[in-house]
Amino acid sequence: MSRSSSETKTRGLIARLRRDKRGVAAVEFAIAVSSLVFLFFGLLETSRFLMLYLKAQHAAVAVADLVTRDKTINEAQVTDLFNVVAQVIHPFPVGADSNVVVTAMGQPAGQPASIYWQRTGAGSLTTTSSFGGAGTSISSLPGGITLRDDQTLVAVEMFYRYDPWIFDFFGSYTIKRMSYFRPRIGSLLQVDP
């Protein structure tokens, strides 16, 4: 009899809870707000990533454009060009999370394409250029870019390690943006002291 009595009480309690609608709005509100907060922070993180991605591309283009403007370039000018990166990618800091690699490559008449010179700056992130180091031969260029005899191409690679603010469980991601320019005048075969 006690079993039947406890079952009746339990069934009565369940029936009362089903009929009771108090607190439903609070539960729905809590679910909606938590979803909206998650969506807000997701949009914030995505917009921050996209802004950095675009700024990295702008930095690569700006450096490539500035390198190829004059007939010659010297070490002081290259250093100044790396300082431009901080202005272009502001408010993101230049330092341990960034690096820019400027590579001048060409194809002397009758010889394979090779790297004339290469400089890195605008940060200390450890990176490797897609083209190799100075003096090495280049087997192929990306994106169907071709070099003719006695022609120089300047490639700028902008690297930035992105660390999410909110969704840090995804881990860091290194953004790499590239830009290619041909010198307007001159050949930029070397960097003058």
Question: Is 100 in contact with 89 (CB distance < 8 Å)?
Answer: no
Res 1: pLDDT: 46
Res 54: pLDDT: 95
3-state helix, strand, coil in the chain (%, to 5): 40, 20, 35
Phi, psi of 191 (to 5 degrees): -105, 120
* Residue 50 reports pLDDT greater than 50: yes
Instruction: Provide the pLDDT confidence category of residue 15 given band limits of 50, 70 and 90.
Output: confident
> Between these two residues, 55 and 110, which has the higher pLDDT value?
55
Question: Is 92 in contact with 55 (CB distance < 8 Å)?
Answer: yes
For 20-42, what is the mean pLDDT?
Answer: 83
For 7-21, what is the mean pLDDT?
Answer: 76
The whole-model pTM stands at 0.77
